[in-house]
Structure 1
Amino acid sequence: MSEEPDVETIGTLLEDPTVRTILTQTSQEPMSATTLSDRCDASKPTVYRRLDDLRECGLLVEQTKPDPEGGHHRTVYATNLERITIELEDDGLSLRIDRRTDIADRFTDLIEGI
């Protein structure tokens, strides 16, 4: 994602109950689109659209996990969202998104900062 989303984009996204369920469920553990479809009680196309929207805003990451039963791999989704803060300022609303980082990302940031 090259640019942070604005308040309107995030507000519209969070207005959707499917989005809220996806964020809540994937904060507990990574899940496949099929599992999310069941948990959200929504069609797979709807879930995939919401997953795309969340990834575009940088609120969700896609991961590839080995599938020991099928011998291949599967795609799962996990939120990297820690907190969204909207503040009222003199010139309008400001948005701050705090994201989780995993140990590999923190190490990369450390090395790049040297």
Structure 2
Amino acid sequence: MSQSPQAGKPDPGTVLGALGSKYSAEILCAAGTPKSAQTLSDDIEIPIATCYRRIEDLVEAGLLEREGRQLSDEGRRTNIYRRTIDEVEIDFSDESPRFSEKRRTEAKNRLQDQRLE
């Protein structure tokens, strides 16, 4: 018997699927500050197409969000992403996996952004 996801929370299977993909953890670690897909691709040294696929999965799972847009060095508008969580705990002791998360707060994002300026 599977539990229905809580309002605003993604299905645990979606989260597990996104986390189980190669490079997802690296993208989440690198996206503690706002970054474009190209910057994430360069930082992690993965192909840009793979990076976009992982970003899409992570956004769908609610672990990464589009924070805004900025101009690239080439003058194109690009999406900027930041992770929405700092920790995820997965519990396999029941019939279906359950997870809990430690969400990033706006205050933490602002403090981190100020350190970069």
Q: Which runs of 5+ in 2 are unaligned?
A: 1-6, 108-117
Name 1:18's counterpart in structure 2. 23
**Structure 1 gap segments, 5+ residues each:** 104-114
Cα 1:85/1:65, change in 2 over 3 Å: same
Q: Distance in 2 between matches of 1:25 and 1:14?
A: 14
Coordinate RMSD, CA, aligned = 2.8
Aligned residues: 101
Higher helix share: 1
1:46 matched residue in structure 2: 50
In the TM superposition, what are the counterparts of 1:1-114 in structure 2 within 5 Å? 2-6=8-12, 8-27=13-32, 29-67=33-71, 73-102=77-106
Opposite residue 106 of structure 2, the aligned amino acid is: D
C-alpha spacing 1:84/1:15, structure 2 compared with 1 (3 Å): same
Sequence identity percentage: 28
Is the CA contact (8 Å cut-off) linking 2:64 and 2:82 kept in structure 1? Answer: yes
CA contact (8 A) 1:64 1:73 kept: no
Larger radius of gyration: 1
Deviation string for 1:46-95 (max 9, x for gaps)? 11111110010110111224449777754211001122112344545321
Q: TM-score, structure 1 length as denominator?
A: 0.69
The 3-state SS of whatever aligns with 2:90 is strand
